[in-house]
Amino acid sequence: MQVIVDNLAVNYELTGSGKTIVLLHGWGDNHATFNRLIERLQARFRLLSLDLPGFGGSQPPLEPWNLDNYAHFVASLLKKLNITPYAFIGHSNGGALAIRGLSQGVLDADKLVLLASAGVRNSQPLKRLTTKTVAKAGKATTFWLPRDTRQALRRKLYGTIGSDLLVAPMLEQTFKLTVRQDVQADAEKLTLPTLIINADHDPAIPLSDGKRFHELIPGSKLEVLSSTTHFIHQEETPKVATLILGFL
């Protein structure tokens, strides 16, 4: 389904019944990343998944955005659809977006689930990764993207076919603005119950980041899965779904 929000066409899916959970995907991903998880949650909850502007079937922003812009956009979408979220589930950069939006009062919910959440931005490895990714997306700098996006992006940059994820000027600047936003101070402001799920050998988001959010968010719960993937909601769906259902 599509709807116009703030003069942008946004693609979204709404399924299930019950209290509404809003799912926010990471950088370079789209709403389909949550399909397996939605299948296991839709009997208990209504689930809203969307393509954030610039990704999937949604129109890109007309100027460079940061997390604040995305948070305001999500708030506008929820108002347009007349939805009051019970919980947010954010993966990777979607987690950073949720933390920022909730801490600033732009978004509101009763509970939060962070899946391999990004947002701890003050490490040297991340700074190097950011610089390399913007400069040239080769194998070593795209491992954290969804598999399909990663392959398409490489083909594009090598002059064949694929995605304009990073070669579109607005998305390049949006990428830079987004990954420079550290949300650790925002995490400290959160007061809602929060479940943090991380993999112990995630190649993109180290377990130390999950532990850091656990320290910062009062009363939060950290669950660590034995996995080597950044996309734990896809590769470890049954375990992730069980943890989320128990928490919600």
Mean pLDDT within 229-247:
97
Mean pLDDT within 181-210:
97
Three-state secondary-structure class, residue 227 = coil
Mean pLDDT within 209-232:
96
Packing angle of the helix pair 124-135, 169-179 (nearest 10 deg): 180
Scored b (16 or more CB within 10 A) or e, 194-229 reads bbbbbbeebebbbeebbebbbebbeebebbebebeb
For the cut 60, the answer to whether the pLDDT of residue 130 exceeds it is no
- Spell out the residues 6+ positions from residue 150 whose beta carbon is closer than 8 angstroms to its own: 28, 142, 143
For the cut 90, the answer to whether the pLDDT of residue 97 exceeds it is yes
pLDDT digits (tens, 9 = 90+) for 42-66: 999 999 999 999 999 999 998 999 9
Q: Let me know if 128 is exposed, middle or buried by CB neighbors in 10 A (0-12, 13-18, 19+).
A: exposed
- In which band, very low, low, confident or very high, does the pLDDT at 185 lie, cut at 50, 70 and 90? very high
- In which band, very low, low, confident or very high, does the pLDDT at 147 lie, cut at 50, 70 and 90? low
Residue 104 sits at φ, ψ, to 5 deg, of -90, -5
- What is the DSSP-derived secondary structure letter of residue 167? T
For the cut 90, the answer to whether the pLDDT of residue 222 exceeds it is yes
% of the chain surpassing 70 pLDDT: 81
CB atoms within 10 A of CB 2: 12
Picking from 64, 49, 53, the residue whose alpha carbon sits closest to that of residue 12 is 49
- In which band, very low, low, confident or very high, does the pLDDT at 24 lie, cut at 50, 70 and 90? very high
Q: Give me the CATH topology for the region 2-121+182-247.
A: Rossmann fold (3.40.50)
Task: Give every strand in the sheet of 194-199, ordered side by side.
Answer: 2-5, 8-16, 46-50, 20-24, 87-91, 111-115, 194-199, 221-225
Per-chain mean pLDDT for the chain? 86
- In which band, very low, low, confident or very high, does the pLDDT at 122 lie, cut at 50, 70 and 90? confident
- In which band, very low, low, confident or very high, does the pLDDT at 154 lie, cut at 50, 70 and 90? very low
Residue 47 sits at φ, ψ, to 5 deg, of -125, 125
Question: Rounded to whole angstroms, what are the CA distances from 114 to 17, 55, 204, 222?
Answer: 22, 20, 15, 9
- In which band, very low, low, confident or very high, does the pLDDT at 163 lie, cut at 50, 70 and 90? very low
Residue 97 sits at φ, ψ, to 5 deg, of -60, -45
Domain ranges in the chain are: 2-121+182-247
pLDDT at 156 (0 to 100):
41
